[in-house]
Each structure stands twice: as C-alpha cells, then as structure tokens.
C-alpha cells in the first residue's frame, strides 16, 4: 500500500494532482469529505465556513487527529490512496504512524492561485484579493492547536512540488516523485495467509455459541474448508436447530446433546465427500482441535495442525496429536 498525502494552500493544484493520481489507479480520500458527511447528518449547510468551523470543533472535542482516524479505519491494505485536505499537523502524524505515508506540499504563486479561485467560481470563495489574503492568513496559522495550520503542515512535507508552469510540467514532477516513492510489500506469510482465510470462513458458521473454521491445504493449495454448524439438511443452529447451543449451556457440559459438527470434522468429511485424499496435508484451524477431531486428523493422514487459539478442552487432544507424530504450531494474531 502507498499513501500519498497532499497539503497546500488555496488553488495550489492539489485537486489536479489528485485527479492525476486517480488516473494511475490511486483511490481518492479527503478529510473534507469526512466533514461533509458530518454536516449532512447534522443538517448543516455545506459551506466552507461551516466545514472549517465543524473541523475545528471536532478536533477540539475528540482530538486533532479525529478526521484522520475516521478515514484510516476505512482504508484497505490492497489499495493505493491519495489523501487530500490535510490541514493540521496531528492529522498528518496519524497517517505517518502507518509507516507507508508520504506527504507532498503543493505550492503556487499567490497571483496564480487567486486567478484560479476566480475562474472556478465556487460558492463561498473570496471575490477580492484582500478577502483571499485574509482567509489564507486565517488558515495558515493559529494559536489554537486544533485549528488549521497549513504552514506547519507544509514544513512536515517530504517533498515540495512547485506548480508554477504548464500542467504537463506538473505531471512530470508528480511522475518523478512517484517513481522515487518506496512501496510497502508487507505480505503475510503462507501460514498467516491461510489462517486469515480460515477466520473469514468462520463467518459462515451458523453456531450461536462460537464460530470456528478449518482450512486444509496441500502444496499451498486449499483442498477443503469447513466451519462448525448443524449437519446438511438439519435446521441451522442459529435458527434453533441445536438445543444445547441455543440454551447457552456451560462450556464443556452436555456435549453429547450438541448437534453441531466441528469445523475440522466438516473440512475432513467434505474432502471424503468429494474424493480428495488428505495424506500429507496441513490443517489450519481458528481453534485447536477437540479430541474427536484430533482422532480424525490423525487417521486422515494430516501431517500438521496450525491453529490460532487454544480450545478450552483441548489439552488431551494436543497430547494425542503429538504422540501420533502430528506437528503442532500456534500462531497468534
């Protein structure tokens, strides 16, 4: 993931750079859009003055990085992003903590920027050079640490892009910086990869007490998956199919009354159903296997069990797996 953050004063060219990066498959995110959503929910008109006031209010109430944190929570690791509207140093610091963030400051001469602001004819924009200067002064620095601090943001930038020439020249500067930007390739290990898949498979479980999943892999290829729940053709646990689970019986009790099949059991049975041999495979489970599932793992010829958390009643099962020569490994997230 690459995160390019942009800061700069009015009409310096940030939107143009954003659009150019979007054309190169970057996804666009703006802290101003976060504010717009807040104003919309509160029924407040979306003017520049209201955006500034609401941003200052949120930073004072919830911390200067509140807008960045809201945005960060919605980022996906498999995408590259360009982040616009960074106007407070703490907003930038929140992104810097991610380790894949690079801040660019876009600058342009004042007279050119004022020409652009008149050309765009946006409602609420200053109409005279004096109004323009007053608004910029207000946004550039303040004694209030929660207010906009564009000068301090500019000082934090890794790179300065001077937008004082034709657009082609601006794009050339962006391309040069982009090629110099280090990329984050923190790929998960194979074990993390398959365990993460198992955690997603667990979301298919229909058990009301605990969602568990197993993924069986051979030669780095998934050959079977399973999650806990009632057998095929039996009413789902979450629809009342298993009385034991729906009464939330104390852990370890009434196990002989539980109608739910375990994740490892289902993964092994699915392999048998489709005629796929498991000898020499690895099973990834979100919980270590119970005694019954461990017997099936041993007899199916599975060579290794990799699990994320320990099953509360699994000590005897783990000892038996060890005795049978099955490798065990616990990987915590």
Q: Which of 162, 180, 198 is the last residue of a domain?
A: 180
Residues in the chain: 333
Counted domains in the chain: 2
Tell me the pLDDT tens digit for each residue of 101-110.
999 999 999 9
Residue 159 and residue 235 in one domain: no
Do 147 and 200 have their domain in common? no
Report if residue 41 sits inside a domain. Answer: yes
The separation between CA 147 and the C-alpha centre of its own chain, rounded to angstroms, equals 28
Identify the segments of the chain with pLDDT beneath 70: 184
**Same domain assignment for residues 217 and 299:** yes
* CATH code for position 310: 3.40.140.10
Which pLDDT does position 224 carry in this prediction? Answer: 97
- Domain end position, chosen among 180, 212, 241: 180
pLDDT recorded at residue 135: 81
Is 234 found in the same domain as 173? no
Place of tokens 């390739």: 185
CATH number at residue 28: 3.40.50.300
Whether 204 and 256 map to the same domain: the answer is yes
Do both 75 and 221 map to the same domain? no
pTM metric for this prediction: 0.70
Based on the domain organization, do 67 and 171 belong to the same domain?
yes
Beta strands in 19-140 (DSSP E): 27-30, 81-84, 101-107
Is 284 part of a structural domain of the chain? yes
309 phi/psi in degrees, rounded to 5: -140, 160
Give yes or no: residues 194 and 169 share one domain: no
Q: Could you list the residue range(s) of the whole structural domain that residue 150 is in?
A: 3-180
Q: What is the model's pLDDT at position 48?
A: 75
Query: Is 250 part of a structural domain of the chain?
Result: yes
Bridge partners of 328, per DSSP, are: 305
Residue 26 pLDDT:
97
Q: Are residues 222 and 313 in the same domain?
A: yes
- Active-site residues: which are they? 264
List strand residue ranges (DSSP E) for 108-164, in order. Answer: 159-162
Q: pLDDT tens digit string along 7-27?
A: 999 899 999 999 999 999 999
Clarify whether residues 199 and 324 are in a common domain. Answer: yes
Cα–Cα distance between 227 and 263 in angstroms, integer? 4
Question: 185 in a domain, yes or no?
Answer: no
């Amino acid at each position: 993931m690459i995160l390019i953050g942009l800061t700069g004063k009015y009409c310096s060219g940030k939107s143009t750079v954003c659009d150019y990066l979007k054309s190169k498959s970057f996804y666009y995110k703006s802290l101003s859009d976060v504010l717009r959503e807040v104003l919309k929910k509160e029924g407040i008109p979306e003017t520049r003055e209201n955006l500034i006031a609401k941003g200052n209010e949120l930073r004072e109430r919830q911390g200067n990085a509140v807008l960045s944190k809201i945005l960060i929570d919605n980022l996906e690791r498999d995408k590259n992003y360009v982040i616009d509207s960074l106007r407070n140093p703490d907003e930038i610091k929140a992104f810097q903590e991610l380790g894949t963030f690079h801040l660019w400051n876009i600058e342009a001469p004042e007279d050119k920027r004022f020409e652009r602001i008149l050309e765009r004819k946006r409602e609420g924009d200053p109409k005279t050079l004096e109004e323009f200067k007053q608004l910029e002064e207000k946004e550039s620095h303040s004694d209030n640490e929660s207010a906009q601090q564009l000068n301090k943001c500019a000082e934090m930038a890794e790179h300065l892009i001077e937008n004082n020439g034709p657009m082609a020249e601006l794009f050339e500067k962006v391309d040069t910086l982009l090629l110099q930007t280090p990329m984050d390739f923190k790929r998960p290990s194979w074990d993390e990869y398959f365990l993460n898949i198992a955690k997603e498979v667990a979301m298919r479980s229909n058990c009301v007490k605990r969602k568990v999943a197993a993924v069986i892999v051979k030669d780095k290829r998934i050959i079977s998956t399973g999650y806990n729940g009632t057998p095929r053709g039996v009413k789902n646990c979450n629809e009342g199919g298993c009385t034991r689970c729906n009464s939330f019986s104390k852990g370890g009790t009434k196990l002989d009354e539980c109608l739910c099949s375990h994740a490892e059991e289902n993964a092994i049975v699915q392999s048998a159903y489709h005629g796929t041999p498991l000898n020499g495979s690895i099973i990834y489970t979100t919980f270590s296997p119970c005694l019954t599932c461990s017997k099936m793992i041993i007899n199916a010829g599975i060579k290794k069990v990799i699990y994320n958390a320990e099953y509360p009643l699994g000590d005897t099962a783990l000892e038996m797996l060890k005795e049978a020569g099955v490798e065990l490994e616990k990987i915590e997230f």
